[in-house]
Amino acid sequence: MPDRLLLRLAPFGFVLLWSSSFIGARVGLRHVTPLLFVEARLCLSAALLVLAMLVLRRSWAVLRGRWLHCAVAGVLVNTVLLDPAHVAMTRMNAAPIALIQTLNPLLTAALAWPLLGERLRPRQILGLALGMAGVVLVVGLAAARSPVQLDLALLTGMGVLGLVAGTLYFARFCRGVPMLEGATVQFLAAALAGLLAVTLFETPHADWTAPAIAATAWNAIGVSLGSMALYLLMLTRGSAARATATFYLVPGTAALLAWALLNETLSVLTVLGLAVSSVGCWLVSRR
């Protein structure tokens, strides 16, 4: 019963934590360059996981030769997704970025059929369509009034392709890997890849004020560790299409959090879009 309850609550926890990352990033990027902000987040996450491995006396041997698969998935799902999105977020609003990231469920569902044999029923296809419609309701009007620059949109889209590839790769090669050991390898690899990105593409700068430290800590512990643990749990116990369908709820939830925490206006369109996305996510996720 506890496992079944956790699986039922996991999508809601994931959406809440992942949506909060946009607010944390908004605060952190005022004081830290984007690639360095992501690297600090990944390094802190990796350090905490290594500490947990040592305290719990876990062995790397349980990976049984699949450490390289975990490393590849970790780089794709974390570094390749987060670096482009944070660079784009310095010059464009979070809402269009969240909209572009909702391409993840469509691409994952489309590719999971031939690659993983996960067939979609007509009800689930309808759910995916409703999810996209809800997202368009939430941010479509804002995006139309302020067109997204093509280069930044393509940059964010490249990150989404990394998330799609990492999701399918994990579902294909990493199911059955113990959660803590697998996540530790993923974040260590992601941190190494992030360090390479900082070295090659950025002149790092940081003003480590209290808000910057708090934003980094939250995005590392609450988002990178908390939300990704729930995401990997959903991938391990269910289908890739069901796990990624929760991304449809992110733009609306992020808008709600911005209204509650940053006093941003919450329109009727946002509420309607969130409701439509919720119905779509339910149709895809229900058995």
Q: Name the residue with higher pLDDT: 173 or 77.
A: 77
Residue 86 has pLDDT above 80, yes or no: yes
Q: Name the range with the highest mean pLDDT among 117-121, 201-205, 259-263.
A: 201-205
Residue 209 has pLDDT above 70, yes or no: yes
Residue 53 lies in a domain: yes
Contact 62, 208 (CB under 8 A): no
Residue 273 lies in a domain: no
- The residue segments making up the domain with residue 114 are 2-119+149-243
Residue 275 lies in a domain: no
Q: Name the residue with higher pLDDT: 272 or 82.
A: 82
The region of weakest confidence among 68-72, 98-102, 143-147, 149-153 is 143-147
* Domain count within the chain: 1
Contact 245, 281 (CB under 8 A): yes
Residues 6+ apart with CB under 8 A from 216: 28, 32, 37, 40, 41, 44
Round to whole Å and give the CA distance between 45 and 103.
26
Q: What's the pLDDT tens digit per position in 140-192?
A: 655 566 666 667 777 888 888 888 888 888 878 877 788 888 889 999 999 99
Residue 194 lies in a domain: yes
Taking residues 4-31, what's their average pLDDT? 80
Q: Name the residue with higher pLDDT: 78 or 224.
A: 78
Give phi and psi for 32, each to the nearest 5.
-130, 140
Cα 231 from chain centroid (whole Å) = 8
Confidence tier at 269 by pLDDT (50, 70, 90): low
Residue 106 lies in a domain: yes
Contact 85, 41 (CB under 8 A): no
Per the prediction, the chain carries an average pLDDT of: 79
pLDDT of residue 205: 93
Taking residues 30-47, what's their average pLDDT? 94
Residue 222 lies in a domain: yes
Taking residues 5-19, what's their average pLDDT? 75
Residue 220 lies in a domain: yes
pLDDT of residue 240: 60
Contact 181, 50 (CB under 8 A): no
Taking residues 186-205, what's their average pLDDT? 94
Residue 274 lies in a domain: no
Confidence tier at 74 by pLDDT (50, 70, 90): very high
